[in-house]
Amino acid sequence: MKTILVTGGAGFIGSHTCVELLQNGYRICVVDNFCNSSPATLDAIHEITGKYFPSYNCDLIDEKALAQVFQEEKIDAVIHFAGLKAVGESVQKPTLYYRNNVTGTLNLLEQMEQNGVRRLVFSSSATVYGENNPIPYKEDMPTGQTTNPYGTTKAMIEQILRDLCQSDSRWSTMLLRYFNPIGAHPSGLIGEDPNGIPNNLMPYIMRVAQGTLPYLNIFGNDYPTKDGTGVRDYIHVCDLAVGHVKALNALFAQEGASVYNLGTGQGSSVLEVVKTFEQESGVPVPYQFAPRRAGDLPEYFADASKAMQELGWQAQFTLADMCRDSWNFIKMKSPSERELVAK
């Protein structure tokens, strides 16, 4: 049984991928600093799967703590989710993002090399395509002309991994560029629940629907899109989790660096997401328009045909599924919050 180190395994996408890994016969160990996640998520992963696994409260910036993980665990491959991910915050705090995302990854790669672990699946992003490529985005398009420091860190790490594979044929990496993950596990036990005021659309909608925030800020209603609001390729987090396991399976049979888009291939506007959520939940979501955010693009979505052809992966869930599962997670969270939701 192969052991997979999952960095950021208590996070939104990481936790769902942990479930998928355990349900597909892998052993996992989790590293997370819980800066934007909760240790309780690890208990929920156990509740869903019935399986125990080791976990470490560890920041990738802490080289000594990371080295200890590799000394204690016999790791066969790594899925690397850990990193800061808020576009707006990255514009305000670029050095924080470069230090955390890039330096943390370099520390991880050094520990992998020292311990003979040379297979890695990297959680990249559609933001690496920048603002000059036509849509839909395809994997062979140029990257690096990013519009925000978050996207730049992803592009930089992709280049680091390519250079590493070029320098040493023993390395094998999968660069997974995914789009806008939303939804939650159908059990309602894990989902997206960021600390503080959310930066992403669906958690913000959840807070408004709960009544903990008064209204949704929609950043920009004058984009050249179907209704003036930003258009994104929203994908169910469980579809993403399956994509990571399929990529991992292929990783053990390849050399070098491969890149895949993970998206639905369809764009939905912010207003379409709000309307779909209201239809699925029966809860109104008041909103107001706000100025555009720095670094945001009007529209983008994926061409995910390569993942279908080479990995046998294709998104299965609809936007309605994503909205329904997100709301179910919020309703399941705790008795007090269920009472609040019911009001």
Q: Write out the catalytic residue numbers.
A: 150
Tokens describing residue 326: 């997100």
Nearest CA to 298 out of 200, 230, 242, 202 is that of 230
Which amino acid, residue 104?
Answer: G
What CA–CA distance (Å, rounded) separates 264 from 125? 14
Is residue 323 within 8 Å of 272, Cβ to Cβ? no
Beta bridge partners of 128: none
Using alpha carbons only, how large is the chain's radius of gyration in Å? 19
Nearest CA to 243 out of 177, 144, 337, 324 is that of 177
> In this structure, what are the phi and psi dihedrals at residue 236, rounded to the nearest 5 degrees?
-70, 135
**What is the CA 124 to chain-centroid distance, rounded?**
8
**What letter would DSSP give residue 133?**
S
What's the helix, strand, coil split of the chain in %, to 5? 45, 15, 40
